[in-house]
Structure 1
């Protein structure tokens, strides 16, 4: 079962994000607090949205899709950018990842959004194989760039 997250889900969302960071060997970079997630997802001006995959038998969340809207200037419509997709190892192979992506694709179609996009680590061959089995294709001609921490402060700080 897939359902939209509620404010009561923030602790489990936080835990799933931490588990994903451990899987991706980047737990030191996962600094978001439960308070930050609560504000981003359920504050006065939500910046992101979350859906949970829930185990039918136990009712416990086993997967997460955390996403936000982007905009295509070429298409002139919104799209969804999937920031995090994670299914607990014990629940993998049960269709939860596919169900989460299906729900996001359904939202795109229903709302007239033109794209569903995400990034995947190059070494994550199981995820890449899964995504390609759904018809997703890599955007090899694009390279993601990122400014964080000191570089971001240097460029955007008061002395810039």
Structure 2
């Protein structure tokens, strides 16, 4: 689930002197988890968070990483992140990336971090042979939808996202 920066007038701090975007490493797991928790708060989904920083460290930075992430820092302090993983389109016959989470700290919103993060993911995708980016946005997140449209993304009206988890996942996985 992605969360997006609100309009520029909500930014409360001046742009920092040093803005960097880099690939996250194992030591960033706590910062990533804290930002994921902030997304959950903003979308009123705090009760859905069951992951821990240790889960992210294990699953994102082990021998077979399930995801990658970019960290945006302002004066060496993490202020944003974009977590993504591989995707494959059988219709296109091409690999891509799926953005799972995008976050920018409230005091840095409106400063271009979100656009720079998504742009960095696009560049990373391009340099690793990927040809597209997909993501989902909460139906009620109009700011996010407008942001992605401004980047050139389009809503795939012929698709709906379904999830199989919890008891239904267990029942199907264990069905005979």
Normalised by the length of structure 2, the TM-score is 0.85
Aligned residue among 37, 44, 50 for 1:31: 50
Alpha-carbon displacement from aligned partner over 1:94-129 (angstroms, at most 9, x marks no partner): 111001100111122222312101000011111111
Distance 2:171 2:114 in 1: 39
Please name the residue that 1:154 is paired with.
171
Aligned residue among 118, 137, 140 for 2:157: 140
Aligned residue among 105, 116, 123 for 1:106: 123
Q: Which runs of 5+ in 1 are unaligned?
A: none
Which runs of structure 2 are paired with 1:1-160 in the superposition (5 Å)? 1-55=20-74, 58-157=75-174, 159-160=175-176
Q: State the SS of the aligned residue for 1:74.
A: coil
Please name the residue that 2:16 is paired with.
none
Q: CA deviation at 1:23?
A: 0.7
Q: State the SS of the aligned residue for 2:63.
A: coil
Distance 2:91 2:131 in 1: 10
Distance 2:126 2:61 in 1: 24
Alpha-carbon displacement from aligned partner over 1:47-81 (angstroms, at most 9, x marks no partner): 100101111xx321111101100111222221000
Q: Greater RCO between the two (CA within 8 Å, min separation 6)? A: 2
Pairs aligned (count): 157
Distance 1:39 1:85 in 2: 20
The Cα RMSD (Å) is 1.1
Moved over 4 A (4+): none
* Contact 1:75–1:114, Cα closer than 8 Å, also in 2: no
